[in-house]
Amino acid sequence: MDSSLTLSALQTDLFWEDKSKNLDQLAKQIEALPSTDVVLLPEMFTTGFTMAAEKLAEDMEGETVQWMRHWAEKKQAAIGGSTIIKASGKVYNRFLWVHPTGEIDFYDKRHTFTLAGESDAYATGQNDGIIHYKDWKICLRVCYDVRFPVWNRNKYDYDLLIFTANWPAKRIAHWDALLKARAIENMAYCIGVNRIGTDGANLHYPGHTAFYDYMGETLSIAEPNRPQALTTQLNKASLQQVRHKLPFLNDRDRFTIQS
């Protein structure tokens, strides 16, 4: 099987709490993409990082999921990004991964951002976020999760770690450093897709969408404060070769995370 995987990350501004405008804008950006295996969208790509969870939540058969299924089938690519989903009476910041077949995997954000009140508006996720796509093992994470190395620790032998985010400008140096650190310590490709623009809470986002390899080397990074479709091809064979040559993960600590 081909060991390469091509991913396109959309660094874009978002319309505050306006699903229709966001989906229309993103549809045009996805339509313009060349052939790719994966399209990645920012955190809460239909609304921006809002705490109006109950008001804006959809279920798993809602318009946003159907929109993602449409574009995944049309582009024959997985579509991934987080949105507001209500399930079993709780509202989650849910990272949806929609396969070209229409099958859906998801990860519910575990570390809700208490500083902004996200922990009051959204339930804490309990699933591990490990999915399989095109012979790749992928770990899905959302924004604030990047600060917690134990939660991201590569005890699953994943190949690729993906963060979807609304990460503000005033702490963007943390974002840059943490993404690189997560790549190095887990010996995995690491991708962070962040939005640009200013939201309804008057927070500014500069982007810094980036791809890092398993040694923490920068593969590509988007221009700050500009909309951009960043496309990069990853190679699994080279990852495996380096892990064989430098078997650091064999010495990782064993642990159990309490809920």
* Catalytic residue selected from 19, 75, 143, 180: 143
Q: Does position 38 have pLDDT exceeding 90, yes or no?
A: yes
HSE-CB for 63 with a 13 A CA cutoff = 9
Classify residue 250 by burial, with Cβ atoms within 10 Å: 0-12, 13-18, 19+.
exposed
SS3 85: strand
82, 142 contact by CB (below 8 A):
yes
* Catalytic residue selected from 75, 109, 180, 236: 109
Residue 1: pLDDT band with limits 50, 70, 90: low
Is 43 catalytic? The answer is yes
* Catalytic residue selected from 19, 43, 190, 236: 43
Q: What pLDDT score does 129 carry?
A: 98
What domains are defined for the chain? 4-251 (3.60.110.10)
The average pLDDT across 46-62 equals 98
Which H or E run contains 56?
helix 53-56
Find where tokens 């058969």 sit.
61
172, 209 contact by CB (below 8 A):
no
Give the distance, in angstroms, between the CA of residue 15 and the centroid of all CA atoms in the same chain: 19
Is 139 catalytic? The answer is no
Find where tokens 């959204």 sit.
122
**For the segment 198-248, what is each residue's pLDDT rounded down to a tens digit?**
999 999 999 999 999 999 999 999 999 999 999 999 999 999 999 999 999
Q: What pLDDT score does 2 carry?
A: 65
Who contacts 233 (Cβ-Cβ below 8 Å, separation ≥6)? 4, 5, 6, 7
Q: Tokens standing for 234?
A: 């990853």
Residue 256: pLDDT band with limits 50, 70, 90: confident
Q: What pLDDT score does 153 carry?
A: 97
SS3 11: strand
Who contacts 239 (Cβ-Cβ below 8 Å, separation ≥6)? 159, 187, 188, 189, 213, 214
pTM of the model: 0.97
Q: What pLDDT score does 255 carry?
A: 84
